[in-house]
A and B are shown apart, each in its own frame.
Chain A
Amino acid sequence: MFLGVFFLARITGDPSRLYLPLNATAQNRADFMRESGLDKPLLQQFVDYLQGLVHLDLGTSLRTGEAASSMALRAFPATMQLAILTMVLAIVGAVIIGSWAALRPNGIGDRVANFMAMVAASVPDFWLALMGILLFSVTLGWLPTSGAGGPAYWVLPVATLVVRPLGVLTQVVRGSMVAALSEPYVKLARAKGASETRVVTHHALRNVAAPALTVAGDLAVSLINGAVVVETIFGWPGIGKLMIDSILGRDFAVLQAAVLLTALSIFALNIVIDICYGLLDVRVRSTSKVA
């Protein structure tokens, strides 16, 4: 990963062309390359980078002159908070709506829920974000257009972000629930006189959870990578916007720091998901013990 990001970033272009004025002289350019250490051979730059990494020094931003690590660490919590809240709302919402729809498959409620879920999963987020601003901020004046701050500032970004995962997850939950409710063990539970609530929450939901968790994990990864569109439109100071800005600005140190941080958190997320599989499904636990 280090190798990939390091070298891929460097073949995208020469920062001196971006940072110096168009009419910069050759001397200007040489001075810039020397000061920023970009005149050294690539391998030397890579070794320097790895050495810095050992000392937790990820370099300095070309654009702002700040330490790259502090820029990435500052942006990261903003993205994480947004991602976590979005995923919690999406998962809980999907379980409720999906289960509700699955109770009467092909009933009116199910069809409406299914249609809405389809729409939600496919609507473009930039359009939704701009329409949200137009309706709730400009026309109705209920919410701030953008920015980061108190609770009101969270509503539009979270609402924009939650729509797609909610749509996708609802369909997954509904599909698995319909299948689960026709399984023999559900019939057995009903025959034993278990209430419908108990059947859904104790018997069926556990089996629905595994596929939902897999899909939710994928969706969460894309949110941790940074919800670039939402962060850009709402001026949310997150890591997605930081990465895009540092790619466009050929700000290699910041890009590397942001990717490193994101990779670490996706790694952590995958471990958490694996642990959850174990909690949900005894078979996963026992096989791992045997192995």
Chain B
Amino acid sequence: MNGSRALRAQLLLGAASILVIGTSLTSCSVSNTDSGTAGKSAVRIVLEVEPPTLEPCDASYTATGVVVRSNITQPLLERNATSGDLEPLLATSWDQTTPTEWTFKLRSGVNFQDGSPFTAEDAAFSIDRALSREINCNVKGEIFGDETMKTEAVDDTTLVVTTPDPDPVLPLKLSFIEVVPSSTSPDKKVREPIGTGPFEVTSWSAGTKLVLSSWSGYWGEQPAFKTAEYQWRSEGTVRAQMVKSGEADIATRLGPADGIGDLGEDYPNNETTGLILNGTLPPFTDIRVRQAVNYAIDKQGIIDSLYPDSGIEVATQIVREGIIGHNDDLEPWPYDPEKAKQLIAEAKADGVPVDAPITMTGRIAEWPNVAQMAQAVQGELLAVGLNVKLKMLETSQQILYQVRPFVLDEGATAVMISHGNQAGDAGFSTQYMTSDGALSTFGDDELDRLIHSAERATGDERQKLYAEAFAYEHEHVVQFAPLLHMVGEMGVAKTVLYKPTPASGDEMHLADITPAS
């Protein structure tokens, strides 16, 4: 049929023209973010999530802190993530003048990005603001709890901070408070802060891109890159591909399955994974069953099969080496399923209901391969005769099992967690160990005593007492089954030089990134 053939030809022609129209239609765009500022002078970073806000007092929240901390705003002093030492930043020196009083000498000649000078008034204001009950800063809950303190600006460069009780790690805690000018609202959060840092916010097209540029009035050395462009993609694979295809210079939070290849940079990230065993419910009421859990898990096997060549190590305790208080003498629990079975049999002989149901929980996507790891652990616990059911949950559900008041109506719980000690001091991990700790299901008087004396101690004594506490936990309490000391992975393109530090996931200093050529 001639007509039909002609029509088919016309339809084909139509299809071709639709393609052309379609392509030209696409020139109306959502928001034009073409690389206006990109080029040699810009470093392009792709994050996992958009910072919800850049409010400096929420900078202990990772998605905010990774952009804000030490880039836009700065703290009085800063912990060197590699050496663990506190280093001066806006404060040049500090002293514990009395057990409850610390005096900070502040840097002079520093300005905020709005042109106002930085004085002790601003430092005092920033501390008061962060700890205020009116504004609910994340850093308050994360670092300070209900702790109160009095701040006093003695003169422009002298700040005195007094606490009701002696606080030997006050300077470390203050390293989490970013300094803002006293003109900042004391009871409302800001989305785009003013600080003393080397970078200021140039533009933020919410949802699409955030651009920082170097600030000419910065008191320190000017950074190598004049501009930093942040984008965000929740898929690790896409972040990795952006670095590989040259669209981004740095990609954060990658996993083994994201395919970054040679451009991946591994770094120890202070995260330790483990199981918290609720010792108030059978069968975990008996220490032998809790010990059996530790013997039953083949930690090295998990590394070999799920994380080969990753730098992930078997954990001995809830903090990793390098953190103040870490006990270097502790050995990992060996993999010994026979010993585990024997301990369970002994407990059973003494009347412990060792087959009581245990609910094990893990958080979906909390770290790469978390589901496979949880299944492996569950399998090993089943193999030694424990009755374990696994639930993979989203964050808000997992929290019900992890934080007081705990879920108690599903039998004993074994909660698989990842604990990140950002501060570098074991004092920030004791909520997992003390009787009244928010994340601790039970305690022990002697362990409480050790921890409380460690909290008040300084220097070698502090190290020794915390190390003793970890040893005591390991031998006499066993609330925790340490699993792995994790590593982070970033993608770093050949166009830039950047060595991630253990803190890079929480604060990525733009000044440390330099062009490759």
Contacts and interface: CB of A to CB of B under 8 A. Distances in A.
Interface stretch (B232-240, B453-461, B476-484): B232-240
A75 B208 CA distance: 10
Given A24-B141, A196-B6, A248-B395, A64 B191 contact: yes
A149 B29 contact: yes
B438 A12 contact: no
A234 B30 CA distance: 13
A147 B207 contact: no
Contact of B11 (A21, A24, A100, A145): A100
A13 B396 contact: yes
A119 interface: no
B237 A85 contact: no
A235 B146 CA distance: 39
Interface residues of A, number: 70
B191 A150 contact: no
Contacts of B191: 64-66
A83 B186 CA distance: 43
Contacts of B136: 28, 31-32, 35
Contact of A200 (B1, B7, B402, B439): B7
B400 A17 contact: yes
Contacts, number: 189
A104 B5 CA distance: 10
* Band of interface residues on B: 35 or more
B141 A237 contact: no
A46 interface: no
Interface stretch (A1-9, A151-159, A255-263, A265-273): A151-159
Interface string B431-459: 10000011100000000000000000000
Given A23-B438, A138-B245, A151-B29, A65 B55 contact: yes
Nearest to B142: A21
A169 B402 CA distance: 49
Interface in A87-128: 88-89, 92-93, 96-97, 99-100, 103-104, 109
B396 A235 contact: no
Nearest to B134: A35
B140 A150 contact: no
Contacts of A88: 22, 25
Contacts of A78: 30-31, 207
Contacts of B242: 145-146
Given A71-B206, A196-B4, 10 more contacts: A17-B403, A22-B403, A25-B438, A88-B22, A145-B245, A148-B29, A150-B29, A197-B6, A232-B235, A233-B238
